[in-house]
């Protein structure tokens, strides 16, 4: 028995030695190849081409794609496809199927065909995609359903705003993952063409669409469904897929038409949310128990919100205030699970929102839009906050008790111009953004910026920066605009602590 064990051990050792030798030989071969300057330059050149063409590249016609020198390095393309393109018959030879994994197509018609006499509404014979099909071959086989095309990982199609024809089943590729219908499209979806798109996960209807959604008309794998401004038809129950995770409804849509939420819905949005039927109340039992994102508004009536909510947006609409933070017993409706709040068009009574613990103790982030310009009372913001972003016009003084001691990121807007120093900025702050109208010299001395600051972002700041008075903890510096005083004082050799300096000239990096 011992002899057998010894033999097995020897065999294992021999195998390990062989494997190690193979690895060493491979490493040596790689080093020999890479140390060859000629071969190394070729490899690096190919890597650069791969990196340059990895992200999505836009082509405005088939000719530009056909003539693109490095098209077989492409990974993702956005193609504007005209029905009158003279190269349409060659499309399957032009698209580099061997390299791309994702394609996004914007279907258009050239100006010469915009104002042609329209076909009868709902006609299938001259529909847009049928014309594509007839152009490809005589058998009415659309390139969109070619074996090459349907093998792609992601296919996104945007329909031209001038198209309003009934779509037949089997015209669109069965592997289509995302479809955006244009603003004019208002055709029935009862003939099964949407249900046939088994891989469709994103569907967006345009402005004019207002057709009934029959039961089981939508793909069972649909994750995101967005309706345009004109949609008023009843939905809910079995005409919405169980797997739906995000639903967006337009303003003025009546909640009475929403009979039942899909059980797995995570995000519910509705335009600016101007629901005028105040008799409709939504309780926590009405909303899906797994809902994580919700848009509210001044006319929304909620008795309670689901305990699963993570992000909530308050759109204050025409009243510019919120009256629905508390229920009838003056208990807060915002569940303790909420971590992020967005305020839109809030111009009144902000400090009342935080009265009597109405805001979650787990709240970490607050976003204000460009209309917010209200003073913030001392000690009302929860200690759990780590992120605050103000909009463009906010310009009120802050004190040493305005922000919680836990705050890490603070972003001021375009017009903010109030005194900042270590007394009113939390010691915990690690990231700060100031903008164009800020007129204080933040590096006048070394006692202004918090000593733990790691990232400083300055938008069109016109005052010279004394790098000697920047916190020693600062590692990232972002400067927007053309600040000649900043550039003249910048000495990267002496700025040992800075790891990243980024100068951005009006959206041109």
For the chain, state the CA radius of gyration: 30
Length of the chain: 509
CA dist 141 and 130 (Å) reads: 9
- Contact criterion met (CB below 8 Å) for 298 and 325: no
pLDDT digits (tens, 9 = 90+) for 97-156: 888 888 888 877 654 433 333 333 333 334 444 444 443 333 444 555 556 666 676 777
Query: Which parts of the chain have pLDDT scores under 50?
Result: 111-141, 272-281, 283-285, 299, 319-321, 326-331, 356, 507-509
Identify the bridge partners of residue 432 per DSSP, sorted by sequence position: 410, 456
pLDDT computed for residue 120 by the predictor: 36
Q: Tokens standing for 28?
A: 């040596």
pLDDT computed for residue 483 by the predictor: 57
pLDDT digits (tens, 9 = 90+) for 204-263: 998 899 999 988 889 889 999 999 989 989 887 678 888 899 998 887 777 677 777 888
pLDDT computed for residue 274 by the predictor: 36
pLDDT computed for residue 257 by the predictor: 74
pLDDT computed for residue 121 by the predictor: 38
pLDDT computed for residue 285 by the predictor: 47
Sequence-distant (≥ 6) Cβ neighbours of residue 66 within 8 angstroms? 87, 90, 94
Sequence-distant (≥ 6) Cβ neighbours of residue 20 within 8 angstroms? none
pLDDT computed for residue 298 by the predictor: 55
Helix axes 37-52, 2-34, angle to 10 degrees: 90
pLDDT computed for residue 388 by the predictor: 97
pLDDT computed for residue 393 by the predictor: 93
pLDDT computed for residue 459 by the predictor: 78
pLDDT computed for residue 117 by the predictor: 31
């Amino acid at each position: 028995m011992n002899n057998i064990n010894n033999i097995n051990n020897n065999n294992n050792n021999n195998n390990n030695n062989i494997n190690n030798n193979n690895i060493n030989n491979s490493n040596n071969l790689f080093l020999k190849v890479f140390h060859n300057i000629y071969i190394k330059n070729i490899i690096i050149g190919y890597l650069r081409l791969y990196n340059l063409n990895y992200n999505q590249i836009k082509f405005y016609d088939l000719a530009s794609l056909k003539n693109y020198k490095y098209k077989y390095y492409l990974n993702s393309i956005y193609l504007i496809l005209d029905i009158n393109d003279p190269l349409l018959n060659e499309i399957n030879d032009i698209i580099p199927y061997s390299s791309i994994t994702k394609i996004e197509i914007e279907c258009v018609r050239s100006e010469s065909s915009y104002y042609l006499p329209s076909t009868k509404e709902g006609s299938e014979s001259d529909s847009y995609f049928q014309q594509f099909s007839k152009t490809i071959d005589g058998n009415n086989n659309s390139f969109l359903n070619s074996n090459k095309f349907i093998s792609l990982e992601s296919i996104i199609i945007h329909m031209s705003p001038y198209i309003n024809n009934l779509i037949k089943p089997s015209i669109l590729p069965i592997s289509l993952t995302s479809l955006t219908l244009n603003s004019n499209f208002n055709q029935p979806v009862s003939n099964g063409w949407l249900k046939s798109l088994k891989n469709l996960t994103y569907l967006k209807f345009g402005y004019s669409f207002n057709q009934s959604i029959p039961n089981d008309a939508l793909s069972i794998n649909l994750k995101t469904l967005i309706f345009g401004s004109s949609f008023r038809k009843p939905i809910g129950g079995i005409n919405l897929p169980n797997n739906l995770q995000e639903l967006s409804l337009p303003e003025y849509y009546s909640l009475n038409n929403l009979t039942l939420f899909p059980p797995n819905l995570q995000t519910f949005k509705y335009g600016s949310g101007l629901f005028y039927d105040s008799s409709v109340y939504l309780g926590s039992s009405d909303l899906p128990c797994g809902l994580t994102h919700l848009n509210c508004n001044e006319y929304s009536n909620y008795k309670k919100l689901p305990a699963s909510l993570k992000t909530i947006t308050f759109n204050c609409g025409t009243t510019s205030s919120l009256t629905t933070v508390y229920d009838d017993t003056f208990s807060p409706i915002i569940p303790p699970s909420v971590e992020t709040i967005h305020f839109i068009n809030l111009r009144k009574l902000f400090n009342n929102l935080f009265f009597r613990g109405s805001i979650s103790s787990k709240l970490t982030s607050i976003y204000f839009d460009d209309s917010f310009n209200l003073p913030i009372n001392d000690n009302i913001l929860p200690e759990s906050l780590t992120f605050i972003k103000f909009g463009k016009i906010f310009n009120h003084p802050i004190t040493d008790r305005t922000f919680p001691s836990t705050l890490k990121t603070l972003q001021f807007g375009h017009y903010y111009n109030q005194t900042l120093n270590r007394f009113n900025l939390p010691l915990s702050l690690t990231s700060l953004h100031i903008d164009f109208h800020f007129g204080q010299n933040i590096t006048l001395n070394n006692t202004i910026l918090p000593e733990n600051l790691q990232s400083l972002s300055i938008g069109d700041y016109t005052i010279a920066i004394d790098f000697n008075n920047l916190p020693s903890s600062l590692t990232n510096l972002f400067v927007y605009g053309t600040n000649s005083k900043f550039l003249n004082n910048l000495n990267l050799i002496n700025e040992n602590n800075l790891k990243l300096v980024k100068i951005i000239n009006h959206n041109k990096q």
